[in-house]
Structure formats: C-alpha cells, structure tokens
Amino acid sequence: MKTGKFIYKCTDCDREYSSSEIRYFCPSCSKGNNTAAPPGGVLKTLYDYDLIRKSISGFEELKQNCFCKLMPLEDMRSLPPLRVGNTPLYTVGELNGEKLPVSIHLKDDSQNPTWSYKDRASAIVSAYAAENNLGTIVTASTGNAGSSMAGICASHRQKAVIIVPEAVRLTRLTQIIICGATVVPITGTYDDAFDLSVKATEEFGWYNRNTAFNPLTIEGKKTASFELFEQLRFQIPDRIFIPAGDGVIASGIYKGFEELLLLNLIDRMPVIVIVQSDKSDNLIRNLDLNTFMIRSSSTIADSISVDRPRNFYMTRQYIRKYDGEAITVSDEDIMKAAKMLAINTGIFAEPAAAAAFAGLLSYRESERLSAGSSNVVLLTGSGLKDLRSVTTALKTPSAVDPTIKNLEKLLK
C-alpha cells in the first residue's frame, strides 16, 4: 500500500492503525463478531487535521482538486471518469399549493451515474483499488451497492464480482449484469453473501467494498456534506433528514461536517435526523438498548431493509455526540411521501429516499420544524431502480376508445 496520508482509528477501542497495516476491521474488536449483533471494530479514516488547517486559508482552498486533502487517495486523477457527486440541491417553496414557512432543500442523489448515493462510495473504493493495483473488487449486495460497483468498475475497466442473496429482484440484477460484472447469486441471506465476499477477499486478494467493512465507503459518503455546505452558501442547515439502513450514509454526513468543524470552517453541527421504516427499525430501536435485539425487516424500502446495521456503533456515537434525532415512518407514509414528492417536484425517488421525505413531513405535521428553519432531505436513489413496490400502490387507468368523450370522462 502506498498512501501514508491517513490512519485508521477503531470506533470501539480507539486504537489507531497505520493505513498500510490493515484495510478492514480492527483485528481485536472484530474477533467476537457474530450474526446476533452489528459488527464491532469498524474503522474511521483520519487525516492530519492540524496540518490541513494550517495549510488552507478557507473552504475554497480545501475544495481544490476535489477535496484531495481529505481523501484517502494519492491523486484525484485516480477517480473513475464518470461524474460522481456534485448532485443538484433543489429548494421547495410550497407543497400542494401551500407556501412553506420553512426552507426545504432536496439533495437529489439519483443524479449519480447508477442513480444512487452508493456511487459516492464506489468511486473512492474504485480509485483506491486503482492506486493499489487491486484489479478485482468484490461486494455483497442486495441491489444498489452491486449495481453501483458494477457501473463504476465498468467505467474504470476494473473487474467487479457481486455476491447477492438469491431473493434479490431481477430488476436490480439487470443493472449489474448489463455492466459486465460477475453476479454470484447464493442460497442464503445478505449475511451469507457478506461472509463469502470476505472469504474471497482473503483467498483471492480481491478488494472488498462491503459497506462499513471497508472504511473508505464512509469517505465517499461524506462528500455530500461538503457539497451541501457550499450549495447552502456556507450556512449550516438546521436539520438533515437521512434514510438509514446500515447507518453508513448518516455516519458519512456526520463525518463530513465534523471535518469542517475540525478545520474551523464551521462552528456548529447540523442536527441529523435518521429515518427508518417502522418495519425495519433495527438501528433506531436499539439506540438506547444495552443488548442488541434484532427484529426481522420487511419494508417496501428495500435498500434500507437491514437486520444488522453494519455501522450501528459509529452511527450511535455520532448521534450521541451531536444530539442527533431519529424517527420511524410507516410504509404507507413512505408511499404517500413518494407520491407527494413526485407531484410537487417531478422527482421520482426510491422508497428509501421517500422515507427521508416522509420523516420531514412527519416533523412538519407535528410542528417540530420551527419557522424560518432550513431543512435538507437526502434523496438517495431513483424510483426507477425498483418499480415493483410503487406500481402496486398506483392506480393505472385502463385503455379506452380514443374519443373526446372518453378523454373528458378520464379528466374528471
């Protein structure tokens, strides 16, 4: 491994490791990992913040060369050629014709190359692999991570091996296969796919992209914080609503803002609101429990349907440190929010992303958004990724004879 500009710190025991020493979990804290609880030993990537602070005069200088100083890469030209990140932020002034007393900003990450937030992580993983001569990248996936890795690897001429539980829907596999990745469906669950990918990493020397297992996934996911700060004209939003499954996006957003704080570029943190479906709430439900209790997940928001949140301990640390908030919403609310979002903005979000919007709507209904506040919703993926869950909730009109009379009838 070449790079020495960053180190790893274990989330659980605080031990620090050189980045040439290990690549994945903290060896001592991951020893007892089992399927009954989230994994211990997830690493955080740290840079020399004192040195960076002294070397920059402000945000503009930090931004130069794609925030290179805060990236685990030697050269930002190692990044894949597709445009990842720099997604639009839209401001919504009214909903259903009603003027809003608060600002709502939508960060539309469906505009990434494979239509999801996962591309931010895949791009960093792909670039790191290129710099370290790791020709094959493997990941366990239930959909978005796999299609993202497949697309990013195709653009970078790298090999991708995607291990999926056999229950993964065909629509999700299509995107992986069309990009030329090797798909390995296995009998079993995401956990089994995860375990096989780790064994393959050990056996074949492949680079492993698994969320949270590979600490650099968080480095990719933090980049939206920098963009938000700039897009909001260097103001910190009051709240950011984030859909949560494993907790990696929330941790990434926290880490991005925390780094700006460490560099004295901001003086307060936004309040992060993590949003889960009440049918997959293992992260939120366990926040205050001493022993982790898994409840089987079955939400329509399948990209946040998670039994063992892989980044649970880090996310919980951040929530406690920065007074984060959490809310669960029903699947019915998620579908309503998806429709409301589409009708009002033209953005067709995947159910997981709509969950974050449902969280905001719930805050609004219970008058928890103070007048004049600035609120961001992270829209993490496109609704076109998985039409099945949506089509069942929509009424499609039947065909009629092409007459004006029938047209008038339909318009009513």
Number of residues that bind Zn ion (CB under 5 A): 6
Distance of closest approach, residue 22 Cβ to Zn ion, in angstroms: 11
Distance of closest approach, residue 113 Cβ to Zn ion, in angstroms: 35
Q: Does 29 bind Zn ion (CB under 5 A)?
A: yes
DSSP 3-state of 116: strand
User: Which two three-digit tokens encode residue 152?
Assistant: 């990013």
**Could you tell me how many residues make up the chain?**
412
Nearer to Zn ion, 10 or 355 (CB): 10
Strand (E) or helix (H) holding 17: strand 16-18
Tokens 């159910």 label which residue? 351
Give the one residue of 24, 26, 108, 121 binding Zn ion; rule: CB under 5 A. Answer: 26
Beta bridge pairs of residue 240: 272, 376
Distance of closest approach, residue 247 Cβ to Zn ion, in angstroms: 18
Distance of closest approach, residue 287 Cβ to Zn ion, in angstroms: 21
Q: Does 13 bind Zn ion (CB under 5 A)?
A: yes
Task: Name the segment binding Zn ion (CB under 5 A); options: 20-28, 80-88, 201-209, 382-390.
Answer: 20-28
Give the one residue of 10, 129, 181, 242 binding Zn ion; rule: CB under 5 A. Answer: 10
Distance of closest approach, residue 49 Cβ to Zn ion, in angstroms: 21
Distance of closest approach, residue 40 Cβ to Zn ion, in angstroms: 7
Nearer to Zn ion, 12 or 386 (CB): 12
Strand (E) or helix (H) holding 105: strand 98-108
HSE, side-chain direction, 13 A CA sphere, residue 139: 30
Nearer to Zn ion, 29 or 283 (CB): 29
Tokens 């001569």 label which residue? 133
Distance of closest approach, residue 74 Cβ to Zn ion, in angstroms: 27
Nearer to Zn ion, 13 or 167 (CB): 13
| Residues 294 and 243: beta-carbon distance below 8 Å | no
Nearest to 272 by CA among 301, 244, 302: 244
Query: DSSP letter at 212?
Result: T
**Residues 30-49: x/- map of binding to Zn ion (CB under 5 A)?**
-----------x--------
Q: Does 224 bind Zn ion (CB under 5 A)?
A: no
Nearest to 217 by CA among 302, 133, 353, 120: 120
Q: Does 240 bind Zn ion (CB under 5 A)?
A: no
> What is the number of other CB atoms lying within 10 angstroms of the CB of residue 103?
18
Binding site for Zn ion (CB under 5 A): 10, 12-13, 26, 29, 41
